[in-house]
Structure 1
Amino acid sequence: MHPFLENVKRDPNSFFVYHTKIEERLPMHSHVKHQLSYVEGGVAFLNTRNKSYFFPARHFIWIPAGREHNVTSRTSVKIIRNIFFPKEAIPKDHELQYQGGIFPVTNLLMEMIYYTVNWRGDVSQKDTSKYEFLMAMKNIVLDVAENPLPIVLPTTKNEILQPILKYIHLHIDQDLYVDKIAHEFGQSARTLSRLFKKNIEISFLQYVKLTRIIKSMELLLQTDLSVTEIAYSCGYNSISAFSYAFHQLIHHSPNEFRKQNV
């Protein structure tokens, strides 16, 4: 086991603060504590065994205790700010005990995260002021958790679907039809549709739509491309179709999302 993971579990009743890039280098793993991670610079993904959560700037990931995961990035990440919460700090009936997700970082929460930049390691009840500060942060997190970012991309270990999903990601700027993709990979459209429903529990069209929106979110945050350019590069034939699909999922227009997160 990596020394970092040993240190996190050393005292199950303490908080643990660790600001580093280390999550990027870790394979699938879990913790005895809940984990809050905030990525400074870059765009990252939280990967579990069957889902991939996109989280942009000004959002944090919440990983419940015991959930296998790792964090990856497609861009250079400056630092990941990790705060681990003792399992008992979260009320037993709260969904954060078992439900992970991506949540917005309010100005207050961001200030609290940055207040801990020089902290490292365990924070127990004997560290009175620091412990009380992190308990206050916990209450802010519970409030913020009412508004998760509704973007989760299913993944699968199915050997037939894996190269198909990769193909979709690599050709997201093109027209993607189930019969065309099925033919490309030696399947019938009906069989491919069933594979999607059985293995990732959404339809082919839903998967393509989610992938287009996630790609557009990356481009909105990482480039200076116009919304029109992003729409076409993500496979939309019109700006209105893109804006409608984006608002349906994110509940903001592309311009609003960019303005709030950049």
Structure 2
Amino acid sequence: MSLIASLPEIDTLSSSVFVKHERFEKFIPYHSHTKGQLSYVEGGLAYLQVNDKKYVIPAKHYFWVPQGVTHVLKIGHSGTVLRSLFFYTHDDDSHPFYSEVGIYPINDLLLEMIKYSESWYGHINPGEDQFLFLSVIKNILPEISNKRLPIALPFSENERIKPILDYLLLHISDSHSLQSIGYEFGISERSLSRLFQQTLATSFLQYLKLLRITRSIELMLQTDLSMNEIAYEVGYGSLSAFSEVFMQLTNSRPSDFKKHF
């Protein structure tokens, strides 16, 4: 049974942990559940859309979605297995971790523990041997999840700004400014600046930075381009300028970030 088909079943037992390891599921549309979700995409890139933000989930990272949060998950072509654990929530108030969406680098311990549950499926209930093992996973998450990936790209279906966002992505390597984009779309600089703040709650320049760094992470995982080539591909005139912004947004140098993979 696919994860999409399993969604109604996940919430039927509130005290259980629901286990699902799914192959080849590439797109899971808007949904929510009353359990907290821990998921790891094996083999590649994934995208998580929550409300008005899109998160890039690089290889060797996992994500947590709190109970009741509506989201969309899209898995890139290189992703092979979606490993998900849906946890009971009666103890979620024990730590702030459980109430926040987050993307984190996986460590060997958590990866092996998640893989250990590969042969299990469905509800694991209190009193079962597997339940104790799974509860340990949930309990250690706040301790091991201390390096959250801070990249989240604002998103909007607003009909005025969506063509502008599409244009920026399509021409990401070009030089852009409020003046040039305003001219392209027949909007004054002031109106364009206000549109970004009102629909995305961020400035034009900050959005452009986030877009470029998000795209650079995709290129690191999906291509064999050198770091210099990636810098130019996403619109930076030099590797040093690209590295400075990358460090500012991720707390890591691009070369160090790529080494992790």
| TMscore range, shorter length | over 0.9
**Does the C-alpha gap of structure 1 residues 22 and 28 become closer, same or farther in structure 2, counting only changes over 3 Å?**
farther
Distance in 2, Cα, partners of 1:7 & 1:109: 25
Q: Which residues in structure 2 correspond to 1:59-70 (within 5 Å)?
A: 59-70=61-72
Distance in 1, Cα, partners of 2:56 & 2:17: 26
Please, which runs of 5 or more residues in structure 2 have no aligned partner? none
- Residue identity (%): 43
Aligned to 1:103: 104
Aligned residues: 258
The list of structure 1 runs, each at least 4 consecutive aligned residues, that deviate by more than 6 angstroms after superposition, is: none
**Does the C-alpha gap of structure 1 residues 74 and 115 become closer, same or farther in structure 2, counting only changes over 3 Å?**
closer
Aligned to 1:8: 10
**Aligned 8 A contact 2:27 2:75 in 1:** no
**Aligned 8 A contact 2:26 2:76 in 1:** no
**Aligned 8 A contact 1:23 1:70 in 2:** no
CA shift, 1:77, in A, is 1.9
Distance in 1, Cα, partners of 2:240 & 2:141: 35
**Does the C-alpha gap of structure 1 residues 179 and 74 become closer, same or farther in structure 2, counting only changes over 3 Å?**
farther
Aligned to 1:56: 58
Q: What root-mean-square deviation, in Å, do the aligned CA atoms of Structure 1 and Structure 2 show? A: 1.5
**Aligned 8 A contact 1:23 1:71 in 2:** no
Aligned to 1:188: 188
CA shift, 1:258, in A, is 0.7
> Partner of 1:28: helix, strand, or coil?
strand
Q: Does 1:155 align with 2:151?
A: no
Q: Does 1:254 align with 2:261?
A: no
Q: What is the one-letter code of the residue matched to 2:19?
A: V
Distance in 2, Cα, partners of 1:89 & 1:170: 45
Distance in 2, Cα, partners of 1:21 & 1:54: 20
Query: TM-score of the superposition, structure 2-length normalised?
Result: 0.94
CA shift, 1:18, in A, is 0.4
**Aligned 8 A contact 1:24 1:70 in 2:** no
Give CA-to-partner distance per residue, 1:147-201, whole Å, 9 cap, x none: 2110011111211011111111111111111111112112111101001111111
Q: Which residues in structure 2 correspond to 1:102-141 (within 5 Å)?
A: 102-127=103-128, 129-141=129-141
> Partner of 1:27: helix, strand, or coil?
strand
Aligned to 1:239: 239
CA shift, 1:93, in A, is 4.6
Q: Does 1:222 align with 2:222?
A: yes
CA shift, 1:23, in A, is 5.8
Please, which runs of 5 or more residues in structure 1 have no aligned partner? none
Q: What is the one-letter code of the residue matched to 2:55?
A: Y
Q: Residue 43 of structure 1: which of 45, 61, 78 is its match? A: 45
**Aligned 8 A contact 1:53 1:151 in 2:** yes
Q: What is the one-letter code of the residue matched to 1:108?
A: L
**More displaced, 25-34 or 14-23?**
14-23
Distance in 1, Cα, partners of 2:95 & 2:197: 30
Distance in 2, Cα, partners of 1:51 & 1:93: 26
Distance in 1, Cα, partners of 2:142 & 2:160: 40
Give CA-to-partner distance per residue, 1:63-121, whole Å, 9 cap, x none: 1110000101343421111111111143x152233211111111111111111111111
**Aligned 8 A contact 1:39 1:57 in 2:** yes
**Aligned 8 A contact 2:173 2:234 in 1:** yes
**Aligned 8 A contact 2:16 2:126 in 1:** yes
Give CA-to-partner distance per residue, 1:130-160, whole Å, 9 cap, x none: 1111111112211123321100111112110
Aligned to 1:25: 27
